[in-house]
Structure 1
Amino acid sequence: MVHSLYEDGREGSPSNPVKFKGQDYEQLKEALLNQEGMFEDETFPANLDSLGDIQVLTDEQLSEVEWLRPRELHPDAAFIIDGASRFDFHQGRVGNCWFLASIGALTFHKSLMAHVVPLNQSFKDNYAGIFHFKFWRFGKWVDVVIDDLLPTRDKVPVSVSSRSEKEFWAPLLEKAYAKVCGSYGDMIAGTPPEAFKDFSGGVHTNYKLSKSPPELWDIMSRALECRSLMGCGSFSEDKGKDIFERFGLVHSHAFAVTGVKLVESEGNRVNLVRIWNPWGEKEWNGDWSDTSELWDTVSDEDRDQCLKVRDDGEFWMKVEDFCTYFDEMDICCDSPNFVDGDECQWNCSLKDGRWEEGISAGGCMSDAEEFWTNPQYRLKVKALEEWSEGDKNVLLSLLQKPDEEYRSKVEYHHIGFLIYKVPSEAPKGHLSSSVLQYEEPVLMSDFEPARELIEFHSLAPGEYVIIPCTYDPNKTASFVITIYSKAEAEIE
């Protein structure tokens, strides 16, 4: 799931990631080994500032927090044992289920997992208390260095814990992401697509399950075949507390989607979905749950393959119940092919941009002179051999890039974009209002206060100008615009 446009080896590519906070993992580790020292990260120190406001600990409990290395927690501490699995860890006291559900999904994709979590790390050979992880951050891959001091109380990790008590890749991955976010407390509350994006740089699609397309299960099947990351979220408590208590679900919670399966039950075809709770416990107890008698109605092969009666947080349910009792689902992949099953090779282009107050932040009012100061991107869409009006052939992603270091303090502007057909006589370069003063936009997106806005569209062959903007003028912010197109496209 690593975009081909990065294969040139430039800084920020998978093979040449940006060194987060200027820290070079190889150089630091070599110096530590020569000095026989242990790494202590001054840019993310082992103190309460790095822990942040995790809300669930009292002042007295915070005073008891002790930062310990894995070897101090278990004499046989290991980075990874027999490969990484979603069952290696469970959630701790930090409310970051969205991130842990995303890790659970990541473990299914071995090549991507090995990129985010370099596997040649150990507590034995050349150990110096230093580790590193890679994330995709706003258009560039970054390499994040950490020490292995973990926050604990009574020698129990405050946050993510190893189920075996001696496998530490997940707590260390969490610490690296906490460093990127500003603190552990800054990881509280979120949704899986944010972490999916930071694990892959891929394109994500959200489905409101109450309005899901009839072919949703087929989309999910294709998504898993395409090695997509998938997650879902439950309703908030106001949906009805009795529903959650009756069926064993958790409200306002993020889960990973870990599988789909078609079974035959008493002559009927049943589409099943497998869900995993990052708590490592608390499961659905309705139809097709671990103890459901419906498993007696399927073949021995399907039952043996699917049914594992254990309290591990993972369960099956039919897709109809999934759409009833869950609120939304997210799919993230390097290609949008899972949406319609088309096997075409999507073209992808990524550009950095910025709105500057008084210079290039003209807002969204297309009849205002200031609107035309917004950044502009020319897109030439070429013809496909098989294409008809209405076929989705262009996907646009507009991703805000905050200047704020601490995730919890970021405030996102309402963002969107307008698309105009460029007249054949229009000059090259930035267009003024006079060029398109009599033209209506071909498309105008929704405007949302979101980290990322993604929309699929159908554009006939021709030349267009895409104008990303904030809803209100004079809002200064950086952004990344990514354009996926089925046909060959030229972007300026």
Structure 2
Amino acid sequence: MKSSEKMDCGCSALFEDPDFPSDDSSLFLDGSTPISRLQDQITWLRPQEICQTPVFFSDNINLSHAKQGLLGDCWFLCACAVLLKNKHLMDKVFPPDQPLWGDSKYRGSFHFHFWVKGHWIEVIIDDRLPCVDSALCFSHCHAPSAFWVALLEKAYAKLHGSYEQLWAGQVSEALVDLTGGLAESWSLSDFGSEDKLDTPEENYKQRRRKRLDLDTIYPLRTTCALSCSTQSIPGGGSEPDQHHSMTVMEWLEVKTVGGSRVRLFRIRNPWGRCCWGGTWTEGGAGWRSLDPADASDLQARAAQGDFWLDETEFLSRFDDVTLSYPINEEGHLQSIYTGNLLPHCCHIAGRWVKGLSSGGSRNSTSYSSNPKLWLKMSEKGEVLVSLLQHRKWRPYSDGPLKDDTRHQRHQAIGLHMWKVEKKRFNLSRTLNKPPCASTHCHAHQREVVLHGQLEPGHYLMLPSIYQPGAEARFLIRVFSSSSSSLSALRSPAPLLPLNPDGEWETSHLRGSWVERSSAGGSRNFPSHGQNPCFRFTVCDEPVKPSLNVKVTLRQSRTDSDLFPIGFHIYKIPAGEQNHSVPSEDPVASCVPHCYTQDVSLSCSLPLGAYLVVPSTYQPDCAGDFTISLSRRINRIVVKSQEKLGRVIQEINLHLMEDQLHEGVSHLSDAKLTTASASLKWAAQLKDSPSLETCVCTCTATVCMNTVT
């Protein structure tokens, strides 16, 4: 993310973020949500202008929890609860020792980190917050003097492009963005309702399946984050087809006076109020089944917006649940299925490209063209494989794209895996066999996860989008209890040209980004002009609308240690010979910078001289790279035009006459007869009005040399 020079200058003025200003551009995308009604009412205030003694956290943990304001981002607030439960995760998102209000080093800026596309990135904001009537109008802490929620929400809004972009989302996505780990969601409606089950045996199986999931994750309840969502809230007034998410603050088993055990869930509504009556509301019949001391203790734990439910109520009143995998202080993921640590992690990026690597689902005949990856297991172990697609929104620096529904944000993706004996295998024969593991179906989710116990050996994985030809970038991550490695099965590069007509020539250029010398970073940084520059010339006018230039930038780094890379193409003004980056805007760009091995751009450029300038996103990222530059050549095809043909005929006649007169004594009668006939035929052809055929075989070389 772009950092701002003003913030560390040591000046006394408080920082004002030029990339996310305190105006409507940071609030709204298109005014399609209810917060558009606030357009003329919002003012921006710093915490010290809102209260006398602002703090980041409240000493009371309950008062530090989030309360939803006028923005529909309950999904994000539910994910924030995981940070309060795990200090090491909070320190990752909000690095400690930042100067706060009252500190002499305070300059009005705060740094946050979010996990995006496989990497932690920094987002810097000022602390001017949107208010109505001098009070925070969006999310805030229950304690009016605590501001960590409001500041984190602003940083997340900047990452997305605007506050309005946070209206409606998935808890699982926010959990991954805040932890860098994994989160999974389960639809409780998938289990069916008891009145729809045909037999008592099916009834038992369904109830057993529900219970099994909760029993499995129960031991991890203190370290993982669990949330629940519903579409039907009594008196809640939620929008149609829009989930409202809540946080499971705690869940435990208690013993009733009758000796049985009951599992209870304490739910917190971000709205700050209880939505349901029932057995376990204040004064409800459920409390009378417990020992009075236990009942009193549990009811005292309920803060503002909290309410209790038993397991039966929990499963019947919520539509789905979302769970984040625990992450220990060393950064290792813990399995929710076994409780085992998964200390080995590897990842690889890829993309689906129409006509090349977007083959669709297994129902499609082009399925085998999807990206193919090798997973190698050194020994038997538990494995989690995640397929994460990149969303269709752009970072705030490039302007966001409209996202109305989950289906617009995400393609329907799936992942299949086959066990193979060795790397030399028959692809079509393998794909015709049932996979050893796969997602249940293609899902409109940002991320899908496979879990299993794998034997040592090689596994072929194919990520896919359901619809053939759909395009997106993706990230495959593997977490395992034993050593594993991940690599791409390289497909042959597509042959140039992209258009079958014409000829192409390709040159390969090697270069390096050198720290503090030629690693200038992207155009967001003043050092961009220090990057290496490569001059090339377009000699042939493009035949519109055909493309005539293709540039590919490839970095020489491992898949686990990639820089975000991109490049710009600048037009060199006529008559200039220097190789420095022009001050004008580029005529073509391969951006945004991506964490991939290579990026490519095909374009149509007019005649002239150009510079291609490759860069990493941040300055001072040292590494080697290769640029492949392909240019289309429009060669003239000669069809023996009359004027050219007569010239060639004259040359041919003179040659044949010389050979005939000078070599008569060396020719046999047969050869002499053939030569005379050829000369006579050529003489007749000379006077012919139509010259659409080639003169003769012996003139071919002359024709080619003449054209050349």
The TM-score bracket by the shorter chain reads 0.7 to 0.9
Which deviates more, 159-168 or 130-139? 159-168
- Tell me, yes or no, if the aligned pair for 1:378 and 1:491 is still in contact at 8 Å: yes
Runs ≥4 residues deviating over 6 A:
none
Unaligned runs of 5+ in 2: 192-208, 395-399, 488-708
1:29-68 alpha-carbon deviations (Å, 9 max, x no partner): 431xx22111111111111111113722455x41121111
- Tell me, yes or no, if the aligned pair for 1:351 and 1:482 is still in contact at 8 Å: yes
Query: Secondary structure at the residue paired with 1:213?
Result: helix
Return the index of the structure with the highest Cα Rg. Answer: 2
Matching of residues 159-238 of structure 1 within 5 Å:
159-210=138-189, 211=191, 213-225=210-222, 227-234=223-230, 236-237=231-232
Shift of 1:344: 5.2
1:130-175 alpha-carbon deviations (Å, 9 max, x no partner): 1121111121111110011111121122211343322111111100
Match of residue 419 from structure 2: 421
Matching of residues 43-54 of structure 1 within 5 Å:
43-52=19-28, 53=31
Match of residue 398 from structure 1: 387
Which deviates more, 339-348 or 467-476? 339-348
Higher relative contact order (CA 8 A, sep 6+): 1
Matching of residues 51-450 of structure 1 within 5 Å:
51-52=27-28, 53=31, 55-57=33-35, 59=37, 61-82=38-59, 85=62, 87-121=64-98, 122-125=100-103, 126-210=105-189, 211=191, 213-225=210-222, 227-234=223-230, 236-237=231-232, 244-245=234-235, 252-267=243-258, 268-299=260-291, 301-308=293-300, 312-333=304-325, 334=327, 337=334, 339-343=336-340, 345=342, 347-365=344-362, 368=365, 370-384=366-380, 393-402=382-391, 404-405=393-394, 406=400, 408-409=402-403, 411-424=409-422, 426-427=423-424, 433=427, 436=430, 439-445=433-439, 446-450=441-445
CA distance in 2, matches of 1:133, 1:218: 36
Q: Which amino acid aligns with 1:260?
A: W
What's the TM-score, normalizing by structure 1? 0.82
- Tell me, yes or no, if the aligned pair for 2:65 and 2:81 is still in contact at 8 Å: no
Q: Does 1:467 align with 2:456?
A: no
Q: Does 1:490 align with 2:485?
A: yes
Q: Which amino acid aligns with 1:165?
A: P
Match of residue 16 from structure 2: 40
- Tell me, yes or no, if the aligned pair for 1:412 and 1:450 is still in contact at 8 Å: yes
CA distance in 2, matches of 1:423, 1:261: 46
Counting matched residue pairs gives 446
Sequence identity (%): 29
Shift of 1:443: 4.0
Which deviates more, 80-89 or 159-168? 80-89
- Tell me, yes or no, if the aligned pair for 2:271 and 2:305 is still in contact at 8 Å: yes
CA distance in 2, matches of 1:102, 1:342: 21
CA distance in 2, matches of 1:65, 1:301: 48
CA distance in 2, matches of 1:50, 1:462: 51
CA distance in 2, matches of 1:136, 1:83: 28
CA 1:485–1:360 in 2, change beyond 3 Å: closer, same or farther?
same
CA 1:378–1:35 in 2, change beyond 3 Å: closer, same or farther?
same
RMSD across aligned C-alpha pairs, in angstroms?
2.9
Query: Secondary structure at the residue paired with 1:35?
Result: coil
Shift of 1:178: 0.6
1:348-401 alpha-carbon deviations (Å, 9 max, x no partner): 222111222233223234773x544432211123443xx8xxxxx332211111
Shift of 1:87: 4.6
Query: Secondary structure at the residue paired with 2:250?
Result: strand
Shift of 1:439: 4.5
- Tell me, yes or no, if the aligned pair for 1:178 and 1:184 is still in contact at 8 Å: yes
Q: Which amino acid aligns with 1:143?
A: E
CA distance in 1, matches of 2:409, 2:277: 39
Q: Which amino acid aligns with 2:134?
A: K
Q: Does 1:23 align with 2:22?
A: no
- Tell me, yes or no, if the aligned pair for 1:36 and 1:128 is still in contact at 8 Å: yes
CA 1:110–1:299 in 2, change beyond 3 Å: closer, same or farther?
farther
What's the TM-score, normalizing by structure 2? 0.58
Query: Secondary structure at the residue paired with 1:307?
Result: helix
Unaligned runs of 5+ in 1: 1-19, 388-392
CA 1:110–1:305 in 2, change beyond 3 Å: closer, same or farther?
farther
Which deviates more, 197-206 or 296-305? 296-305
Query: Secondary structure at the residue paired with 1:215?
Result: helix
CA 1:488–1:310 in 2, change beyond 3 Å: closer, same or farther?
closer
Q: Which amino acid aligns with 2:420?
A: V
Which deviates more, 308-317 or 175-184? 308-317
Match of residue 3 from structure 1: none
